[in-house]
Amino acid sequence: MDRRRLVPRTDAVLADPRLVEAGGRLGRQVVKAAVAAAQDRARQGEIGPDDVADAAVAALPTRAASLRPVVNATGVLIHTNLGRAPLSAAAVEAMTAAAGPADVEFDLATGARARRGRNAAEALAAAVPAAADVHVVNNNAAALVLVATALATGREILISRGELVEIGDGFRIPDLLASTGARLREVGTTNRTSARDYADAVGPATGFVLKVHPSNFRIEGFTGAAEVPELTGLGVPVVVDIGSGLLAREPLLPAEPDATTMIGSGADLVTASGDKLLGGPQAGLLLGRADLVERCRRHPLARALRVDKLTLAALEATLRGPVPPVSQALHADPAVLVRRAAALARRLAGVGVDARDVPSTAAVGGGGAPGVRLPSAAVSLPERLAVPLRTGDPPVVGRVEHARLLLDLRTVPPEHDGDVERAVLAAAEVRG
């Protein structure tokens, strides 16, 4: 008999309780595809007809979305390739609560429409009292585009040549701003720009002066830059892109600008990211003069750049809730990191893994605090374990230095040390 006739029908396989449950969790199309693949294997003789349901179940993904949670052991606190800032448990809970119907634009007391994102805006305003008004868009680049469009379309933006930065993935501030219809007028030189350079360039066509913090590089030596207080008397708005999202001064990062200080120094508008040092979701923060913020808020482009309810929920929870993971990692006690690394290495070595605890140096990352080195501690492993750790469950991503794989614990929450240990043991077993 033709074995293909023995392959069970699709509807019969789909009736398996395990596949019925998976259909509700993963979607019917995903389950049907797994069944079809298993049936093909049976027709080819790779499995028996009675094994089709088992093979389909085994082939199903564990979750509907393909993104996988990763243990960041790179030592880079804000790792762009790993999604930047990890959210706090409070932010995750807030997003889950907002996933269904929520009062995002609805006043439950009056039954009338309410201002969208009012609670997140209130939390942001409370965090930066120096700002007369605030607005939130979908990322910092969007905040800059909105400001340039609302205040300088057809006009000039004055910017120092030393601040014409590339922000990643080939995108450059000059190209971003020029796309709005504004004209960039470069002042000063790459290494030195004075307040006089700006003053000499201001004219009737000037929309605003833009200061961009060079957050992902440093220029050292014979350098000079005009500070915000020197630019406040030019008769045009001063806009400062601080980039990394600090809302107030951080003693561990004294060279990193913050929104409160910039506004206090005379900046009319400040733009920043929500998913870097603030430790929240991807968002662009716009803070400062009420009239300028309102012009941006009421511009038609603001509609295209608005954030969704999940971002609003996570941002509010980040601002009002407990210390987010990024801040916890930044302030981690080096002595505690050393003890954790020593204990983990000792446990791994005790079962035959070539593991050693070593000093390490972590970085802020995310285009923030260039040159700042944070003392840390790591578990050093054979380089050959890098791939099986990255492809394990959960994936553990470290960094390779001098032919050794380092798992830096500054970016690993203490409660995940057990996950790292189990992942290393599994990876070592895979490699034999």
More confident residue, 249 or 170: 249
Amino acid of residue 155: R
Which helix (H) or strand (E) segment is 28 a member of?
helix 28-43
Predicted confidence at residue 432, as pLDDT, reads: 44
Assess whether pLDDT exceeds 60 at residue 1.
no
Query: Which residue segments constitute the domains of the chain, with CATH numbers given?
Result: 3-59 (no CATH), 71-80+328-431 (3.90.1150.180), 88-321 (3.40.640.10)
Q: Which of 57-66, 167-176, 235-244 has the least mean pLDDT?
A: 167-176
Predicted confidence at residue 368, as pLDDT, reads: 77
What is the pLDDT averaged over residues 80-95? Answer: 96
pLDDT tens by residue, 131-159: 999 999 999 999 999 999 999 999 999 99
Q: What distances in angstroms separate CA 390 from CA 64, 345, 423, one per listed residue? A: 20, 19, 9
Parallel, antiparallel or unpaired: strands 71-72 and 396-397: parallel
How far apart CA 286 and CA 137 sit, in angstroms, is 8
Assess whether pLDDT exceeds 70 at residue 394.
yes
Is the Cβ–Cβ distance between 332 and 410 less than 8 Å? yes
pLDDT tens by residue, 401-432: 999 999 999 999 999 999 999 999 999 985 44
Predicted confidence at residue 218, as pLDDT, reads: 62
Predicted confidence at residue 351, as pLDDT, reads: 94
What is the pLDDT averaged over residues 100-120? Answer: 94
How far apart CA 206 and CA 200 sit, in angstroms, is 11
Predicted confidence at residue 168, as pLDDT, reads: 66
Q: How confident is the model at residue 129 (pLDDT cuts 50, 70, 90)?
A: very high
More confident residue, 49 or 172: 49
* Chain mean pLDDT for the chain: 92
Which tokens in the block code for residue 280?
């929240």
Q: Give percent of the chain with pLDDT exceeding 70.
A: 95
| Opening angle at CA 348, ends 386 and 405, nearest 5 | 25
How far apart CA 165 and CA 174 sit, in angstroms, is 8
Predicted confidence at residue 161, as pLDDT, reads: 87
Predicted confidence at residue 93, as pLDDT, reads: 97
Q: Which of 210-214, 338-342, 379-383, 391-395 has the least mean pLDDT?
A: 210-214
Predicted confidence at residue 209, as pLDDT, reads: 96
How far apart CA 397 and CA 74 sit, in angstroms, is 6
pLDDT tens by residue, 356-382: 999 999 999 987 787 899 999 999 999
b/e map of 252-280 (b: 16 or more CB within 10 Å)?
A: ebeebbbbbbbbebebbbbbbbbbbbbbb
Highest mean pLDDT among 4-13, 230-239, 363-372: 230-239
How far apart CA 47 and CA 55 sit, in angstroms, is 8
pLDDT tens by residue, 10-48: 999 999 999 999 999 999 999 999 999 999 999 998 999
Following DSSP, what letter does each residue of 210-233 receive, concatenated? EEE--TT----SS-B---HHHHTT
Predicted confidence at residue 118, as pLDDT, reads: 95
pLDDT tens by residue, 160-183: 988 887 776 667 888 888 899 999
Predicted confidence at residue 163, as pLDDT, reads: 82
Sheet with 183-187, side-by-side order of all strands:
133-137, 284-288, 269-273, 238-243, 206-212, 156-160, 183-187
